């Protein structure tokens, strides 16, 4: 792992993260990738996210790179005291537990800011302040509440998006709030409480459909039922059963597509002269294009579509991305060492700075791997640390 971080934007910023699952860890990961020293506090037996199966099996390794692990028993006075001391030394505190949990630990913002007024405190919640604020929320819950599931599935069959979109975006907005609060702190000298919430995040995703209704007076139809603004904007089945999304959103793309498919007859058809004409003819137009595309192989179309700037995409499964040419050759997929010492290929944050991607500097931490290192820096003796944790903490790599 590359351990150099002095040139990164958040070098010198300490973050204490008390979170699990996806939303809070995403915020901590982003801050860590940007160079912050992120200390993840987890129970002595480890964050339960480490042990999830099924759709949660990849959560921990995906959202917990570039972090240290400190294991504390927060059911003991000694563990609480150590966490308080740690938070008192930090620049940013990240949490995503249910409403009221931080108050029971004496770590609500009102309490913490009295001891550390420069602290930027970011909470990841289901809902911002309001009638729903005490409800528990999940990504799927807010997708149903905020219109996203309705827009994704066919009428009568609301369907959640196939990824934890609100959890991940909620963590992103939490990180954005942290960056803004740190910038302001440079001028004011005091920190700020930041909140990010799943429901409000999902409402932002639905805002374009809200405004479509406000502009047109007609409710937006779910994606499977929508009336497309473009005639050619669909998934087609090619030879050998391969599927490909193909679009032609302008007249130039339409002409190029017809030439590639050798359909001069469609170019000459007066019923297809403009995009709006083609939208009105969409049912039969898509049928005839589908019949033509069914004779082509995907590899024969890719070069021609790239050459003529026609939007297209083969339908890809997540596991296929490990072999994606662009990710590999651009350096967007790199080796990350896991807590068991093995490596996996992991996508980086989708940004570059001066042409460089933000790299993993730390492996996924073992449970409590950095407990001794961090607590000794707070003045704890090794014997006290062993009593607090019940055993000698793992040595840092």
Tokens matching residue 175 = 């990180």
Q: Return the domain boundaries, the chain.
A: 14-205+331-389, 228-319
Nearest CA to 92 among 40, 45, 50?
A: 40
Distances in whole angstroms, Cα of residue 110 to Cα of each of 28, 115, 117, 121, 350? 22, 10, 10, 10, 35
Alpha-carbon distance 96 to 104, whole Å? Answer: 14
Annotated active-site residue 88? The verdict is no
Catalytic residue of the set 108, 167, 320, 343: 167
> Would you write out the chain's pLDDT as a tens digit for each of its 397 residues?
554 556 899 999 999 999 999 999 999 999 999 999 999 999 999 999 999 999 999 999 999 999 999 999 999 999 999 999 999 999 999 999 998 999 999 999 999 999 999 999 999 999 999 999 999 999 999 999 999 999 999 999 999 999 999 999 999 999 999 999 999 999 999 999 999 999 999 999 999 999 999 999 999 999 888 778 899 999 999 999 999 999 999 999 999 999 999 999 999 999 999 999 999 999 999 999 999 999 999 999 999 999 999 999 999 999 999 999 999 999 999 999 999 999 999 999 999 999 999 999 999 999 999 999 999 999 999 988 887 775 554 554 4
The pLDDT score that the predictor gives to residue 278 is 95
Nearest CA to 31 among 361, 328, 339?
A: 361
The pLDDT score that the predictor gives to residue 391 is 56
Q: Are 233 and 244 in contact (CB under 8 A)?
A: no
Q: Are 237 and 168 in contact (CB under 8 A)?
A: no
Residue 14: phi and psi, rounded to 5, are -100, 135
Determine whether domain 14-205+331-389 maps to CATH 3.40.50.10540: yes
Alpha-carbon distance 128 to 251, whole Å? Answer: 45
Q: 286: which residues sit within 8 A by CB, 6+ positions away?
A: 231, 232, 234
Beta pairing partners, 336: 344
The pLDDT score that the predictor gives to residue 395 is 53
Q: Are 113 and 121 in contact (CB under 8 A)?
A: yes
The pLDDT score that the predictor gives to residue 257 is 98
The pLDDT score that the predictor gives to residue 5 is 56
The answer to whether the 14-205+331-389 and 228-319 domains have the same CATH topology is no
Alpha-carbon distance 143 to 178, whole Å? Answer: 25
Query: b vs e for 99-117, b when ≥16 Cβ sit within 10 Å of the residue's Cβ?
Result: eeebeebebbbeebbeebe
Of 3.40.50.300, 1.20.1300.10, 3.30.1450.10, 3.30.1540.10, which CATH number belongs to 228-319?
Answer: 3.30.1540.10
């Amino acid at each position: 792992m590359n351990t150099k971080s002095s040139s990164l934007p958040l070098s010198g910023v300490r973050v204490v993260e008390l979170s699990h699952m996806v939303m809070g860890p995403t915020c901590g990961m982003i801050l860590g990738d940007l160079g912050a020293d992120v200390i993840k506090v987890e129970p002595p037996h480890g964050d339960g996210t480490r042990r999830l199966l099924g759709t949660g099996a990849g959560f921990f390794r995906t959202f917990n790179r570039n972090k240290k692990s400190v294991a504390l028993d927060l059911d003991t006075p000694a563990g609480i005291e150590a966490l308080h001391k740690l938070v008192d030394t930090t620049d940013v505190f990240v949490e995503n537990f249910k409403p009221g949990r931080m108050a029971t630990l004496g770590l609500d913002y009102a309490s913490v800011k009295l001891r550390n007024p420069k602290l930027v405190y970011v909470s990841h919640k289901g809902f911002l302040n309001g009638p729903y604020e005490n409800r528990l929320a999940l990504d799927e819950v807010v997708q149903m509440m905020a219109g996203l599931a309705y827009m994704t599935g066919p009428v009568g069959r609301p369907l959640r998006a196939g990824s934890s979109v609100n959890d991940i975006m909620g963590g992103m907005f939490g990180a954005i709030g942290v960056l803004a609060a740190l910038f302001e702190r440079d001028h004011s000298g005091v920190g700020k409480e930041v909140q990010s919430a799943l429901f409000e995040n999902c409402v932002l995703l639905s805002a374009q459909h809200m405004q479509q209704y406000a502009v047109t007076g007609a409710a937006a139809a779910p994606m499977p039922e929508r009336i497309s603004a473009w005639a050619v904007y669909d998934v087609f089945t090619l030879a050998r059963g391969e599927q490909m999304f193909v679009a032609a959103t302008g007249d130039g793309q339409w002409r190029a597509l017809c030439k590639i498919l050798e359909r001069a007859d469609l170019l000459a058809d007066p019923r297809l002269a403009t995009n709006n004409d083609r939208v009105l003819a969409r049912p039969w137009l898509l049928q005839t294009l589908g019949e033509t595309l069914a004779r082509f192989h995907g590899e024969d179309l890719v070069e021609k579509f790239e050459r003529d700037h026609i939007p297209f995409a083969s339908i890809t499964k997540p596991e296929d991305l490990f072999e994606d040419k662009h990710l590999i050759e651009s350096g967007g997929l790199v080796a990350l060492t896991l807590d068991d010492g093995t490596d996996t290929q992991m996508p980086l944050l989708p940004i570059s700075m001066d042409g460089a991607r933000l790299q993993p500097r730390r492996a996924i931490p073992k449970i409590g791997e950095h407990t001794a290192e961090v607590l000794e820096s707070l003045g704890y003796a090794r014997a006290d640390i062993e009593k607090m944790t019940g055993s000698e903490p793992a040595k840092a790599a």
